Every structure is written in C-alpha cells, then in structure tokens.
Structure 1
Amino acid sequence: MTVIGEDSELGSDPLDPPLMAPLRPDLTWHQVQQMSQSVGYRDDPMLRAIRATAVIRRGTRMTKVLSPAQVAGHLGGWLPYGFCYRSCDIAHLREPQQLALLRTDGGTDSPVAFALRWRATDPVDYEVPAAPAHPGLAALPGHSRIGAMVLGTGFTPSADDLVPEYVTAGFADLPLSANAQLLAYVPGGDEVVLYTYQPEQHGWLRLAGPRWRNLLGELPGVSPDREYVPCTVTGTAKLVGRIDDQEYEAVADPPGEFRVRALTRAARYPVRSLSRRAEQARWRGVPAWVLQRDETWARLRLLRPEVEAINATGARCYERGVYEAWAPVGELSDHHIADVGYALPDAA
C-alpha cells in the first residue's frame, strides 16, 4: 500500500490516518486520480477500497474552506455543516487559488483563502457524499446547484489532486469543538490563525496581530480591532451530557475530553454520556432539520438532497449540497427532537 500525501505532517498524526492506495505498475497514482474523477467508477471495488482508508477518528482535524461572508457568519454563531475535508488530505494545498477550488459557495476569485478547522467529536457525524448515504447528490442538475458538481465517487472534482470529501451527517449542524480555529491562507502559502473558539463563552478570541489587520478587514461586518467576538446567535444543535440522572449542556474537546459547559473550571466535570441534539421534522414527506421557527413558519434543511425532495419542497441551494426551504409550521409532521448518541471511551 502507498500513502497518498505522505509528506504531510498532519498525515503522520494517528488521529489523521493517511489515504492509502495499492499502487503497482498496472495501477499508477495517475490512474487512481483519473478513476476518482470518472462517474463510471462510482461502484468500482478498488476505488471504494481506497476511499475507505480515509478514516475519520475521534479528534481527526476537519477543515471547511470559507468565503469572507461565511467567516463572518461563523464569528456570529454559525456551526460547521455541509461539505468538508480531513485537514491531512488538503495540507498540501496552501496557496489561496488552490484552496479556493474547495469553497462551497461557488466563488473562486479571491487573493486570500479562509477556512474553519475543528476536531471531529465522533465519526458518526460524517458521511461520504455518495451512495449509499447520498445517492441523489450526484444526480442533481446544474441549474439547481451551487459550486462544483458531486461526482459520487467520494472524491472532490480536481484535475490534479486526489482529495476525499465528506459531508456532515445528513447535512446537520455540528456543535463546535473547543479551540476550533478560523484561518487565512495568504499568497506564498502562509497559514494565519485569525480566531480560536471559546465554547464556555460562546465566542471567538482574536489571535491575529496588527500585521494581519488587512485580512480581518476583508470580513464583512467584522471590526478588526475587537479582541473578542461574542457569537450573536444560538446554534441549531448542541451537545448534551449526563452525570448520573442530571442532564447538562456539554462541551467537546476531542479526542479525550467531554465536559459540562461551565464558566468556572471547577464546575467543568466530565460527562458520562454525550449526544448531539437538534430538531427534525418532515414536510411533504421529506425529512429535514428545523433550523429556525416561530408560530407560523419554519426554516428547514434537507437531510438527503435529491431531485424528488427538492421538487416536492421547492428547496433552494444556498451552498454546495445544502438545500433549504421555508414551510408553514402547521404542515410539518413527525416534528421531534433528535438525539445522536456518542459512545464515550469511559462508557464502554
């Protein structure tokens, strides 16, 4: 087996296992890369076996490439959702024009690339954007999508690279893990940490110094002078932990720390169980996350985007793979709170 991208420092981390391929004289890297770009190889056993080596473990570093507007959204309280990548798989892409091709908003014209990086709380939170989890994504017509087409092979469209891609499970919002980072990549390949997430305060601490003031100035509605930026919206998903019979809002600091969310360190007890909690419903038979609602209307995000579901709901594409619609609350069915449980090591 051959390590793809073995020169990556991130790939040497046991939490970031590298992509592996059984290269040989009759199966070169170039051939594997071409297979990854061909819809004819969606069900090829060899390509699927290679894709399966791109494993997410608890604590694996994940990255989503952002536009300046999306960075501002995350500073305001957005959570990770939609298409993303293991950081080790894109560590060799440092130049802004390289990373811009991975943006989910369809834009590529920017002298600087921005990204959100966080650690995975659990592998159950991520899916391959291909069959069997998402068989309808690759069939979406061009007029109804934003960004690059979904090949259905499990790899992102690229003429040169072999990059496995993921989506958050059911395109769900994922609670941010502690110390997540908002980054910038500038010409020359330098990585700049702009902000780091403080979960107890639900806000972002600025790390970029005066040298990078121009980068912060590119973010709409964000003052480059603020050393701390509190989130202004509450996330649509949260972590819930239990200690004995009591339930608490929790914080994940993967791979090994899962604790009660509390302002004082003395009260940050480790939780015995952990789950991700969010609101779900069906509208016109289509399952969706309930992102926002009042007494009359609800904003929904489709769990499984496909042609029939989009036609039934009239959902609109807001970024690659993410389809949302507004629905009358009275027409929702199976409206419930969904808990996705995680198996913590100490609970075994």
Structure 2
Amino acid sequence: MTVTGEENELGTDPLEPPLMAPLRRDLTWQQVQSMSQSVAYRDDPMLRRIRVTAAIRRGTRMTKMLSAAQVAGHLGGWLPYGFCYRASDLAHLREPGELALLRTDGAADSQVTFALRWRATDPLDYEIPGEPAHPGLAALPAHSRIGAMVLGTGFTPSADDLIPEYVTAGFADLPMPANAQLLAHVPGGDEVVLYTYQPEQHGWLRLAGPRWRSLLSEIPGGSPDREYVPCTAAGSARLVGRIDDKEYEAVADPPGEFRVRALTRAARYPVQTLSRRAEQARWRGISCWVLQRDETWARLRLLRPEVDGINTTGARCYERGVYEAWAPIDELTDHHIADIAYQM
C-alpha cells in the first residue's frame, strides 16, 4: 500500500492513519483523484477500499473551516457540527485561499481563513457523506444547497487534491472537547491559535498576542483585548458519565481522559461510562434533532437531508448539508432524549 499524498511525520501518528491507495502502473494517483471526483465511481469497490483507510480514531484531530461570523458563533457557544476533515488530510494546504475552498458557507474570498480544530471523542460521531449513511445528500439540487455539491464518493470536490470528508453523525451537534482551538490561517502559511476552549469555565481563553490582535477585530462582536470569552448559548448536546450509580455532566479530553466536569481539579474524577445526550423528534415523519425549544416552537435540524424531507418540512439550508426549520412544539412526535453510548 502506498500513501497517496505527501509523506510527512503526521502519517506515523496512530491517531491519524494516512489515506492509502494500492497504486500501480494501471492505477496512478491521478486516476484515483479523477475517480474521487466522478459520481460514476460512488459505488466503486476500489474507491471505497481507499476511502475507508482514512479512519478516525479516538483523539484524531478534526478541522472545520469557518468564516469570521462562524467564529463568533462558536465563541458564543456553538458546538462542532456538519462537514469537517481530519487535520492530517489538510496538512499540505497552508494558504488561506486554499483552505477557504473548504468553508461550509459557500464563500471563499477572504484574505484570512478561520478554523475550529478539536480531537474526536469517538469514531461513532462521524459518518461519510454518501451511501449508506446519507444517500440523499448527493441528489440535492443546486437551488436548495449552499457550498460545493456533495459528490457521494466520500471525497471533497477538488481539481487537484484527494481529501476525504466527513459529517458529524446525523449532522448532530457534538459536545466541545477540552482544549479545542479556534485558529486563523494567514497569508504566508502561518497558523495562529486565537482561542482555546476551557470546558470547566464553559468559555474560550484568548491566546493570540499583540501581533495578531487585528485578526480578532475581524470577528463580529469580538474584542481584541478580552482575555476570556464565556459561552452565552446553551449547547444542544452534552456528555454524561456515571461513577457507580451516580450520573454527572462529563468532559472529554481525548484520546484518554474522560472526567466529571468540575471547577476544582481534585473533583475531576474519571467517569466509568460516557454517552452523548441530545433531543430528537419527528416532524411530519422526518427525523430531526431538537436544537432549541420553548413552550410553543422548536428549532429542528434534519438528520438525513434529502429532497423529499426538505420539501416536507420546508427546511432551509444554513450551510453545506445543514438544513433547519422551526416547527410548532405540539406537532412533534416521538419527542425523546437520545443517549448515544460510547465504548470505554
């Protein structure tokens, strides 16, 4: 097996296994890249075998490209969701113009590209945006989507690169792991860490020094001089763990630490079980996450976007692959709390 890309030290990390392809005289890298861009190869066994080598492990670094407005959303409390990539698969892309093509808001005209980077809590949280998990994504018409089309091959649209793409499972919000980072990629290839997430304080600690304060000024509502930014929005998903017979809110610090969320370090005991908890419901027969609700209305996100479900719910596309709608709370059926258990 041969690595289909630049050899680098990231390929030796067991948490970030490299994308592999059996290159030979009659199957060159250029042919594999061309196959990844063709809908005719969605079900090709060879391409699927190549794609499955891009595995996610507990602790794999994941990246989502952001606009400045999306950075502001995460500073306020947004969680990781939607399309994302393994950081190792983007290591060869350094300039903001290259990385901006992977943004989910459909824009790619910024001189600076922002990103959210975090470590995966569990492979269970990620899916390939194609069959069998998401058979309807590739069939979405251009007028109902934002950003690049979904090819259904498991690779992002690109004329030059072979980049496997992922979505959070069912387009779910994922609880933010400890030490997640908000980054900026600037001309010349520099990567600047702007903030790091502190779960016990439920907020972001500024790391950018005076040289990079101008980057913070690009974030709507951002203050270059503010050292700590608390999250003001309540997350729609959280981690829960158990110790003996008691349940606690939990914090993930992958790959190896899963603990009780507590302000004092002495009380951060390791949990014995771990699960992701969120609300689900069906509206007009379509499965959705319940992101917000009050006594009258609920904000919903489709788990499996496809044409009929979007038409039935009137859901609107907010970014690539993410379709949301508001629904009367009394029209929801099968409204329940879902617990997705992780193997510890």
TM-score, normalised by the number of residues in structure 2 = 0.99
2:114–2:185 Cα contact (<8 Å) kept: yes
How far is the alpha carbon of 1:6 from its aligned partner? Answer: 4.2
Q: 2:332 matched to which residue of 1?
A: 332
Deviation per CA, 1:251-275: give whole Å up to 9, x if none: 0001110000000000000000000
Whether the aligned pair in 1 keeps the contact of 2:112 and 2:186 (CA below 8 Å) is yes
C-alpha separation in 2, matches of 1:296 and 1:246: 33
1:7 alignment partner, SS class: coil
Distance 1:72 1:110 in 2: 16
- Cα distance in 2, alignment partners of residues 188 and 11 from structure 1: 24
Please say if 1:146 is aligned against 2:185. no
- After TM superposition, where is structure 1 displaced by more than 6 Å over at least 4 residues in a row? none
Matches for 1:11-50 after TM superposition, within 5 Å: 11-50=11-50
Q: 2:128: which partner in 1? A: 128
Q: Tell whether the 8 Å contact from 1:173 to 1:237 is kept in structure 2 after alignment.
A: yes
Query: Alpha-carbon deviation of 1:73?
Result: 0.4
2-structure distance, mates of 1:59, 1:4? 23
> How do residues 3-18 of structure 1 correspond to structure 2 at under 5 angstroms?
3-18=3-18
8 Å contact kept, 2:64–2:85: yes
Q: Identity rate of aligned residues, in percent?
A: 84
3-state DSSP class of the match of 1:134?
A: coil
Helix, strand or coil at the partner of 2:101: helix
Which residue of structure 2 aligns with residue 189 of structure 1?
A: 189
**Aligned partners of 1:8 and 1:92 also within 8 Å:** no
Whether contact under 8 Å (1:177, 1:254) holds in the other structure is yes
Q: Is the 8 A contact 1:119 1:180 kept in 2?
A: yes
Match of 2:318 in 1: 318
Work out whether residues 6 and 92 of structure 2, in 8 Å CA contact, stay in contact via their aligned partners in 1.
no
How far 1:214 moved relative to its partner? 0.8
Q: For 1:74 and 1:327, locate their aligned partners in 2 and report how far apart those are by CA, in whole Å.
A: 24
The aligned counterpart of 1:254 is 254
Q: How far off is 1:51 after superposition?
A: 0.1
Matched with 1:237 is 237
Work out whether 1:213 is the aligned partner of 2:213: yes
Aligned length: 344
Alpha-carbon distance in 1 for matches of 2:38, 2:114? 29
CA distance in 1, matches of 2:262, 2:325: 35
Tell me how far apart the structure 2 counterparts of residues 59 and 41 of structure 1 sit (CA, whole Å): 31
> What's the counterpart of residue 55 of structure 1?
55
Q: Can you give the 5+ residue segments of structure 2 that lack an aligned partner in the other structure?
A: none
Displacement of 1:10: 2.7
TM-score by length of 1: 0.98
| Residue 168 (str. 1) matches residue 171 (str. 2) | no
Q: Is the 8 A contact 1:5 1:11 kept in 2?
A: no
Is 2:296–2:330's contact at 8 Å kept on the other side of the alignment?
Answer: yes
**2:213 maps to amino acid:** R
Letter of the aligned partner of 1:196 in structure 2? Answer: T
User: How many Å separate the matches in 1 of 2:256 and 2:174?
Assistant: 18
Conserved? CA contact 1:8–1:88, under 8 Å: no
Contact 1:284 1:312 in 2 (8 A): yes
CA contact 2:3–2:20 (8 Å) conserved in 1? yes
CA distance in 1 between counterparts of 2:190 and 2:30 reads 28
